[in-house]
Structure 1
Amino acid sequence: MPPFPLDAFLASLPWVVAGIVALLALTFAAAVRQHRHSVMDTVWGPGFVVVAAVSWVLSAGYGDAGRRLLLLVLVAVWGVRLAVHIGLRARGGPEDPRYVDLLAKAPGSRNAYALRRVYLPQGMVLFFVSLTIQVGMFAIGNLGWLAFLGVLLWVLGFVFETVGDRQLTQFKADPARRGTVLNTGLWRYTRHPNYFGDAAVWAGLYLVAADSWPGVLTVLSPAVMIWTLAGKTGKPLTEKAMSGRPGYQEYIDSTSGFLPLPPRRAGAKPR
């Protein structure tokens, strides 16, 4: 088996960075025009699609064709679905309260502050997390059983994320349920089926890349994504925002915090 094409991979990195910068520049221009920097959330998924597309083009003739196409398709389906969901949810609405709170701290220009505190950090995280995809595109060797397990895990995560988002959208659309807590469907087994699904998607993508050397070395990339979802900005911020809602503490007491598990009986220790 030929060695990993390190020179070609390193040569692709500036082009990947250029793709990310171009996307963020367009997003920033649109956000300034709309006076709504939460548009960045909509392009989060497509940012990974851009990385995957650039890496797919530049890895032609180097990486395994099957793995390259598989990674491109999986990332594109996930990224486009996420963008459509977030875009429809935010359409016509005001600025996200998280961004309002953040930009209220701006010592000068809010746009310049957003550029430093929103776009630059998210661009850096996007690049680091996507290293799994970038390396996987150049990985040598045919697809094996680990990649097959990765696809199964990706499918599980995609179903949880898609169905969970759909159930939440339908729940919020019912005026009679306003101010209540969704505790049915997938939300009966985990308080965050969408975040769990996202984590499973990225764990699955990692397994596809790790099926061939040196993809296994990119473990920190999905780890950062999963840590962000479960312990940093995903689950913690959502639960903080929901903490004052009637019935939410009872929901916490009965429902798993992240991994899907059977509902707990009354009096059982929270997980």
Structure 2
Amino acid sequence: MTSDITPGGTSTAGSKNRATIITIAIALLIGALVALAGSQGGAELAGFPLYAWAVAAAFLIQVLVYLPSAAAKTERFFDLTGSATFIVVTIGLLIAAPAPDARSWILGAMVILWALRLGSFLFARIHRSGSDDRFDDIKGDKLRFLRVWIMQGLWVSLTAAAAWIAIAGGTAEREPIGWLGIVGIVIWVAGFVIEVVADLQKNAFKADPANKGRFIRTGLWSRSRHPNYFGEILLWVGVAIVAVPVLVGWQWIALISPVFVVLLLSKVSGVPLLEAKADKKWGGDADYEEYKAKTPVLLLKLTRP
């Protein structure tokens, strides 16, 4: 029987638990600070800032679904809960906001349409696979499992910040959509279409038995190694541009939304993980190395492949 004590006398399990608790605390603190800043000058509901209600709800929904999921040791509803949170909270904001204007409804539609598409896409993926190996080592550990749900609450809150802050703005006379709003809408549509088309192309590629064990380099994937992520970044930039004209004071924290999405996908959980996985599988293959050398990581190459 081996001891759970490191040579330095520190419990490995205890260290992991402390690190997990610290991560949860930091995530909640960031969420609270963004909620505080984004609520400045905004509308209130029952004496509490409306945007702060939205952020609190985003975290609460995760905890409520985490409880039965932890008991059953299942991650089956994790991704679906994230998508549903965007939808539920956005609808709640539109209902509770004082006289939501055209900008609010447009922003709400942007978030809801994106979340509906993402939710259906992820649900279909988990339905096909039956499980998600990302959770194999943690779903039996209630504290570590809770951490990923809390982080999902933070992800939702930061990603939707621009739209939610603009919708929950004060009761002052609103700005018309204007040319900047139209630019944002066009960018959002472009990003949404790119993301959807890229995902459809990849699904079709994987569904063809002839492509088993091969990497995709056709369609949008011939112009970018991660066109779906490029579309994702583009659409949240569009959301932020639509929201910008009504932001005041500390509400400018809303711009954390596109910045967060860019950093998350390009530096943390998106591109780096998939690039490492692809390098491990196809690294050294002449076709793959040529593809990497000639194809941008994110930005779509405008010239023909």
TM-score, with length taken from structure 1: 0.84
Aligned mate of 2:145, from 114, 125, 132: 114
Q: Superposed, which structure 2 residues align to 1:73-112 within 5 Å?
A: 73-101=109-137, 103=138, 110-112=141-143
Aligned partner of 1:241 in structure 2 is 277
Give the superposed CA RMSD. Answer: 2.4
Paired AA for residue 201 in structure 2: Q
Specify which of 246, 253, 256 is matched with residue 296 of structure 2: 256
How big is the shift at 1:254?
1.6
Contact map agreement 2:202 2:216 (CA 8 A) in 1: yes
In structure 1, distance between residues paired with 2:82 and 2:277 = 22
Alignment CA distance shift 1:239-1:42 (3 Å): farther
The answer for the alignment partner of 2:75 in structure 1 is: 37
Q: Specify every segment of 5 or more residues in structure 1 that has no aligned partner in the other structure, as ranges.
A: 266-271
Cα pair distance change 1:152/1:23, threshold 3 Å: same
Partner amino acid, structure 1, of 2:259 = A
What is the 5 A alignment of 1:53-72? 53-61=91-99, 63=100, 65-72=101-108
CA contact (8 A) 2:79 2:122 kept: yes
C-alpha distance after superposition, 1:22-53 (max 9, x if no partner): 42134324534664326322333332222322
Q: Could you say if the C-alpha distance between residues 264 and 175 of structure 1 is closer, same or farther in structure 2, counting changes exceeding 3 Å?
A: same
Which structure has the greater CA radius of gyration? Answer: 2
Cα distance change on mapping 1:7 and 1:189 into 2, 3 Å: same
Check the 8 A contact 2:265/2:271 in 1, yes or no: yes
Q: How many residues align?
A: 254
- Tell whether the 8 Å contact from 1:190 to 1:259 is kept in structure 2 after alignment: yes
Secondary structure in 1 aligned to 2:273?
A: helix
Q: Which of 124, 127, 130 is the aligned partner of 2:157?
A: 127
1:268 match = none
Q: CA deviation at 1:98?
A: 2.4
Q: Greater CA deviation, 25-34 or 51-60?
A: 25-34
Structure 2 equivalent of residue 269 of structure 1: none
Q: How does 1:1-271 map to 2 (within 5 A)?
A: 5-8=41-44, 11-29=49-67, 31-32=69-70, 35-37=73-75, 39-61=77-99, 63=100, 65-101=101-137, 103=138, 110-116=141-147, 118-139=148-169, 140-214=174-248, 216-246=252-282, 247-262=287-302
The question of whether the paired residues in 2 share the 8 Å contact of 1:190 and 1:257 is answered with yes
Identity %: 28
Q: 1:201 to 1:30 in 2, by over 3 A?
A: farther
TM-score (norm 2): 0.75
Relative contact order higher in (CA < 8 Å, ≥ 6 apart): 2
Give the gaps of 5 or more residues in structure 2.
1-39
Amino acid at match of 1:59: A
